[in-house]
Structure 1
Amino acid sequence: MTGTEITSCTEALRLLAAYLDTELEEHEHGEMERHLQRCRSCYSRAEFEAHLKASIAELAHEPVPPRLSARVHTLIREFTVAGDR
């Protein structure tokens, strides 16, 4: 962003992933914070996305069942072979 204020929800939602990943410039981050303070809808969406991201991160520590792992590897091999044709 180039110094403009985040006024639309469309713009806020476009930047939401970068905001949650702390990838925004300092100015953009501040603008996003101000938008989320004013806009209940975007705030709720940001909260949902943050909780979802945290839940997915927790799953990364769960062991993958052997049957699922074998199935995924089989599918990868099948797609690789099909792509080589």
Structure 2
Amino acid sequence: MSEDIISCEEVIERLFAYLDSELDDLTRAEIDRHLRRCHDCFSRKEFETRLREKIAASGTEKAPDRLRQRVEALLGNR
């Protein structure tokens, strides 16, 4: 059985869809195989995964009441 070969360029082009689970099972499996073999693409995937985690975690703190009041006042003055 011959293994389908997907290029690094194709992996990078589809990386965000891969991370968002928007690919069909066959394409996802091809990328999984590529990531197991290719250190550069695996590193890029890990970077993007960690970046997404940091961004998601950064929006969890509540703004201080004073800041919220200032923003509301500015928006009310339009």
TM-score (norm 2): 0.73
Segments of 4+ moved more than 6 angstroms:
none
Change beyond 3 A, Cα 1:6–1:54: farther
RMSD, aligned α-carbons: 2.2
Structure 1 range deviating more: 52-61 or 38-47: 52-61
Unaligned runs of 5+ in 1: 78-85
Would the aligned equivalents of 1:12 and 1:32 in 2 still touch at CA under 8 Å? yes
Q: Looking at both structures, which has the greater relative contact order when contacts are Cα pairs under 8 Å and sequence separation is at least 6?
A: 2
C-alpha separation in 2, matches of 1:7 and 1:35: 7
Would the aligned equivalents of 1:6 and 1:32 in 2 still touch at CA under 8 Å? no
Does residue 45 of structure 1 match 2:44? Answer: yes
- 2:60 maps to a residue whose letter is H
C-alpha separation in 1, matches of 2:59 and 2:7: 34
Aligned twin of 2:25? 26
Unaligned runs of 5+ in 2: none
Q: Which has the larger radius of gyration?
A: 2
C-alpha separation in 1, matches of 2:48 and 2:41: 10
Aligned twin of 1:82? none
Percent sequence identity over aligned pairs: 44
How many residue pairs match? The answer is 68
